[in-house]
Amino acid sequence: MSNAVLTSGGDRAVSGVGLFVLGGFADRVGLAGELSGALVPRGERAPVHDRGVLLTHLCLALAGGGEACSDIEHLRAQPELFGPVASDSTLWRALSGVGDEELDGLWQAAGAVRERVWPQTPATGPLVVDIDSTLVEVHSENKQGAAPHYKGGYGFHPMVCSTDEGEPLWGMLRSGNAAANSIADHLHVLDRAISMLPESDAAGHRAGDPKDLVRRRLLVRIDAAGCSARIALGCRDRNVGFAVTARATDGIDAAIAAARLDHDMWVPAAPNPKHARKPNRTQVAELTELVDLTEWPEGTRLIVRREPLHAGARRSLFPSETFRYWGFLTDAPGSPAHVDTLMRHHAHVENSIERLKDSGLARMPFAAWNANRAWTAMCLISLALVTWFQTHQLTGALAKAAPKRLRWQLWHLPGIVCRRARRTLIRIPTRLPGARALLAAQHPR
């Protein structure tokens, strides 16, 4: 350790320069303006702080690791970077006043920004989205909607839909005792997520739309909680492809038992790039002809994957002392190895959930249900803003970095406030990791 002495003063020093750059990006994409239209003042007098700017500041606080309304005070203490910032009590009142109409307006505001931010050139491949739910523990019985959940804890059970790249599209706060396999909830989340997509991606995927309206294929992936023929039929009604993890049934057990010794049916799975040096002993097979799928939509396929049994392996779809079996039902085209790789990437949703929990979703700071619904929406919108910034302004490892790394290398970088030629300059030490990337990221691309 050095012999430096800590003392007070240094009013020219600021921290959070990366959040200042993120806020500039939010202004360029028009986030504050869209959010302002979502929360219309109800009183006789206009509020001192524009609600869109207030919620944009909340997005910055969440990106910086905030978990409560009081964390916005870190931005308020630095007007050189963030301008006039509302107090935590103002933020608390704003979120407490969000009802169904205002909440829908928040989601529509995020969708309007996404329409501008996403590439305008039509994509060639399908758009893949994932639906998953997670548990949020709370330690107070005074929060509306909190309830015991299936793992023995107490709290909430939100369900989220995100893209394969990890951008959250829509989320629904649910009570802790909400069923993980609710058919109605899965289809509702899918419908709302589709409404958040740009029109070029959402066209033809609303319930009852004719198939000829589809401009881009859409595929939804769900774990075993979504293994239901009714969910698959709902996807078919929306011209949405599906891939759902299979549950163990007598029919699937019989199909695997009939195929497990038929070596001609099994082909090598696509190798995992992370394990390129290890021999690829994983195999896949299509067992569609060996199982009764009459309740499922026409064209449904059963793809089964098996790998040598190893210590610590999770529960297998089929009891075996040699292999661990895992399968899924899908209507996606392609070889079994190709579709298996596509479905295995459903694990990306776990990263998305982890990032959300690291961006405010791990806590529900309000006692009122509607306020916590608004908090949930802002957590998702904040992470979407960060994802847009990473996509458009960052390169290399930072373009895929998790929240913790972004905070260390970008968001919380320190700076010195200088004034020259009637301009305010923020100088950052270029020797710090991420400083050069941040300097490059402040300019529009």
How confident is the prediction along the chain (445 residues), in pLDDT tens digits per residue? 667 776 676 778 888 999 999 999 999 999 999 999 887 766 656 677 888 999 999 999 999 999 999 999 999 999 989 999 999 999 999 999 899 999 999 999 999 999 999 986 666 789 999 999 999 999 888 999 999 998 999 999 999 999 999 999 999 999 999 999 999 999 999 999 999 999 999 999 999 999 999 999 999 999 999 999 999 999 999 999 999 999 989 999 999 999 988 888 999 988 776 655 566 788 999 999 999 999 999 999 999 999 887 766 666 777 776 788 899 999 999 999 999 999 999 999 999 999 999 999 999 999 999 999 999 999 999 999 999 999 999 999 999 999 999 999 999 999 998 888 888 888 888 888 889 999 999 888 7
Q: Strands 147-148 and 267-268, how do they pair?
A: unpaired
Write down how long the chain is: 445
Q: Are 325 and 352 in contact (CB under 8 A)?
A: no
Q: How far is CA 282 from CA 85, 323, 397, in A?
A: 55, 9, 29
The closest of 111, 16, 115 to 57, measured between CA atoms, is: 16
What pLDDT, on a 0 to 100 scale, did the predictor assign at position 310?
A: 73
Three-state DSSP class for residue 327: strand
Angle (CA) 139-143-145 rounded to 5° is 110
> What whole-number distance in Å separates Cα of residue 141 and Cα of residue 149?
13
> What confidence score (pLDDT) does residue 278 get?
61
| pLDDT reported for residue 34 | 94
DSSP 50-113: -HHHHHHHHHHHHHTT--SGGGGHHHHT-HHHH-S---HHHHHHHHHT--HHHHHHHHHHHHHH
Residue 443 makes CB contacts below 8 A (sequence gap 6+) with none
Contact between 301 and 330 under an 8 Å Cβ cutoff? The reply is yes
- Return the pLDDT at 445: 74
Burial of 354 (0-12, 13-18, 19+ CB in 10 A): middle
- pLDDT of 340 reads 94
Where are the chain's structural domains? 13-104+365-441
What is the structure's pLDDT at 276? 56
pLDDT at 313: 63
